[in-house]
Structures are given as C-alpha cells and as structure tokens.
C-alpha cells in the first residue's frame, strides 16, 4: 500500500508522554470540560529547560516512531522548525514543517512577521538542495493567538510560496466560546492564557495591566461568531489552509469550509484525551471535505501510529468503514495537502512511497483487505520513500543515527 501521511504532529515533544500530562481518563470526554488550557502550561513547563540537542533528540525519536509505524510523510508543527526538519532529513522521510507564529497585538503585526521571517530564513538553511522532499511553511498557532492582521501576512506569504498555512482551529469549546460568547467573564481561560503568554519574558512595570487591557479590547474577542466564521470574515478561510482539529464546528462552518476548499487534519485520540470532544467526521465525509488524520504529539496521544488513530475512529463511529479510513491516511491526505499528483497512491509517475505490511503467522478471519490492513495483525515490514528503503523487517535502517 502507499506510505502513510500524518497530517499533524509535534515531533519536538516526542520524548514526553501523555502519562505525565493532564489528560482525561474516560472513553469519550464529551461531557467533560476541556483541559487544554491546563495542558498547555504543563507542556511549557516540561520543555522550558530543553536544550537544542534535547529537542533534536526528541524530534528524531518521534520521526523514527512514525517511520516504524509506516509513515512516509509527516506534517510537523514547531516553534523552531530546525529540529523537525533535521530529524526528517536524517531518516530520509518526507514532510512539511510549519514554523509557528504568535502575536495578538494588531499594531505589532508587521514587526512580528519580520521577526518570524528572520526565524524562517534561519530554519530554511537546515534544508539542503538535495532535500527537496521536505518543505518549510508558516504556522499561525490558532485564531486566538494570532491577530487577523498577522494571519493575513502569513496567508499572503503561503500564497506567494505556493504552500499551506498550518493552524490549530476550533479545537475546544473554550475557544468556541471565547469567540462566540458576547458576555465573557473576567476569568475566561483564554484571556488568562494570553496574558501569561505575552508577559512571560517581559518584566517592565505595569506590563500585566497593559497586556490585560489589550487582550480585553481585541476586536475579534467575543465577536459573536465561531472560530471558522471569524477566519471567513477576515478572508483567511481558503484552500491554502490546513486546519487541525475542527472539533467545535457547526453546519454553517462545515459548508464554509467546503465552499472555500479548506483542508482538515483530524486528531481523534488527542481530542478525547484533552476532553475536547469528537470532530463530526461523518458530516465531514458526507460534505466531501478534504481531510486526513494526524496523531498530534506524544504529549497528547498514546502513539504516533496512524493506523491506531484509524482504529480508534472505526471503533467510535458506526457509519465509517476501514476503506474510508485507509483513504484518509493515503490518497485523501495527499489531496488535503495539495500533493495528490505525487503522493497517496501507487501509480505510474508518482513517488515510490510504499509500505509493505506482513500478517502475523496466525490471524483471524477478515471480510476484506481493508479491515486486515488496519488491524493489529498486519505489522509494518518494509517502508520505501522515493524507492529507498527506510524500514526493513520493522526496524529503521538509519537506527544508528538515533
């Protein structure tokens, strides 16, 4: 079968474990309040002392786990990007790495983007001319951490460079309410998060009150619209956007994404473990939205195995079958990336990204090959990327690099 395509990951956090992070222990978490804004501070605390070498070791560990699970292409999101780019290159995998962008002050948008471009140019030096299978792009973190003015600069940059905009969108009920609820209380979690985030390294007198006042006055805060509608109203919802999560969306949002040809990366296990709920994947499929699956990071998921994500969806959605899910890991994911001419299927003229699965000696009865391919009975045997063997007999050939 084709090599698998992971549409959302954070390789930098691969040395962390969900076991050491705030997480929901139930099965569905649909009636629980999101713990995303206790999870993010915990993540920051655990990685605050990471050196560049530790980040690279973590990213390399994640890339190796992804490869051994049959993944040939990884969409990675990173605050620094250098480590993810280096890890993918080291293992000869393909990928798209998004350098994250933050900034909510509209008056600082131009300065913030100039600083981001300096970071981008530094990260781009990591990619040699021989590594054309790895690209670098822009990743505005989320609609609540990036002003529309700054996002516009990011979107224009991506358009000019014929690439994707990577972003977390509509991940939690808290985010949805921050946009849609016109009567937010003073202890709203996103307000507190933004105030802490944008004062963390600034010690001047009165800075907390200054940032607090700025956050409260943001024109898109409590605007009465969903996060998707917010992006649409600022002309930021388009075919270049790869929106990750999209848990909290309504029917109008789904129609808007369909009309604008926006792509979606679904991370079902992470959404449950952080008590964000379930994305309406069946509605997405019936609306023919462009989408695929991602694992998110090991700080919010159990593994970087895409087939395990697909099995989780299969177990929790009655009207989705294994054939549909396998397409979300291959050809549909390639379409969501705009790379379906080169990736996602085994055809003449496409890249030779090929995954070979081997059945356990004794297996149960399967009614079709798609159920079998998703099952735990089918083990990763070999993985080829551009015709080059990366995994042999279930183990990385580049294992000495680890």
C-alpha distances out from residue 108 to 114, 148, 196, 240, Å: 10, 12, 18, 24
Domain ranges within the chain, ordered by starting residue: 4-190+225-347
Q: Which two tokens stand for residue 328?
A: 């979300």
Please say whether the beta carbons of 193 and 178 come within 8 A: no
Cα angle for residues 150, 207, 138 (degrees, 5° grid)? 20
Q: Which two tokens stand for residue 134?
A: 């790895």
**Pairing of β 388-392 and β 395-396:** antiparallel
Please identify which residue in the block is written with the tokens 């999209």.
246
Looking at residue 27, its pLDDT comes to 47
Q: Which of 36, 21, 27 is nearest to 274 (CA)?
A: 36
User: For residue range 335-360, what is the model confidence (pLDDT) as tens digits?
Assistant: 999 999 999 999 999 999 999 999 99
CATH number of 4-190+225-347: 3.20.20.140
Looking at residue 29, its pLDDT comes to 47
List, for the chain, all residue ranges whose pLDDT scores fall below the cut of 70: 25-32, 129-130, 399-402
Looking at residue 127, its pLDDT comes to 87
Distance between CA atoms of residues 266 and 215, nearest Å = 29
Looking at residue 31, its pLDDT comes to 52
Please say whether the beta carbons of 163 and 137 come within 8 A: yes
* Residue 30 falls in which region: left (phi positive, over 0), alpha (psi -120 to 50) or beta: alpha
Q: Which of 53, 114, 112 is nearest to 87 (CA)?
A: 53
């Amino acid at each position: 079968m084709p090599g698998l395509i992971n549409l959302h990951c954070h390789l930098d956090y691969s040395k962390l474990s969900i076991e050491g992070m705030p997480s929901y222990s139930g099965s569905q978490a649909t009636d629980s309040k999101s713990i995303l804004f206790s999870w993010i501070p915990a993540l920051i605390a655990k990685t605050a002392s990471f050196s560049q070498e530790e980040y690279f070791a973590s990213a390399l560990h994640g890339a190796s786990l992804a490869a051994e699970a049959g993944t040939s292409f990884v969409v990675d999101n990173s605050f620094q990007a250098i480590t993810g780019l280096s890890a993918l290159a080291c293992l000869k995998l393909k990928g798209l790495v998004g350098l994250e962008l933050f900034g909510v002050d509209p008056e600082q948008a131009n300065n913030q983007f100039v600083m981001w471009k300096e970071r981008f140019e530094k990260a781009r030096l990591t990619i040699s001319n021989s590594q054309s299978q790895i690209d670098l792009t822009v990743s505005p973190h989320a609609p609540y951490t990036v002003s529309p003015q700054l996002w516009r600069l990011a979107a224009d940059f991506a358009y000019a460079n014929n690439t994707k905009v990577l972003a977390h969108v509509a991940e939690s009920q808290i985010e949805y309410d921050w946009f849609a609820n016109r009567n937010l209380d003073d202890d709203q979690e996103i307000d507190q998060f933004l105030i802490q985030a944008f004062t963390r390294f600034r010690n001047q007198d009165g800075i907390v009150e200054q940032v607090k006042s700025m956050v409260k006055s943001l024109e898109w805060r409590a605007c009465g619209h969903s996060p998707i509608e917010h992006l649409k109203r600022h002309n930021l919802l388009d075919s270049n956007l790869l929106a990750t999560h999209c848990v909290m969306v309504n029917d109008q949002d789904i129609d808007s994404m369909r009309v604008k040809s926006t792509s979606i990366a679904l991370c079902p296990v992470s959404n449950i473990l952080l008590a964000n709920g379930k994305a309406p994947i069946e509605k997405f499929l019936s609306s023919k939205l462009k989408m695929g699956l991602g694992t998110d990071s090991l700080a919010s998921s159990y593994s970087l195995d895409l087939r395990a994500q697909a099995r989780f969806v299969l177990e929790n959605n009655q009207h989705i079958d294994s054939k549909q899910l396998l397409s979300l890991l291959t050809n549909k994911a390639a379409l969501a990336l705009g790379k379906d001419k080169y990736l996602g299927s085994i055809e003449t003229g496409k890249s030779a990204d090929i995954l070979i699965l081997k059945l356990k000696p004794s297996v149960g009865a399967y009614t079709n090959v798609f159920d079998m391919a998703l099952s735990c009975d089918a083990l990763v045997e070999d993985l080829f990327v551009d015709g080059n063997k990366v995994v042999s007999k279930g183990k990385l050939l580049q294992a000495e690099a680890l």
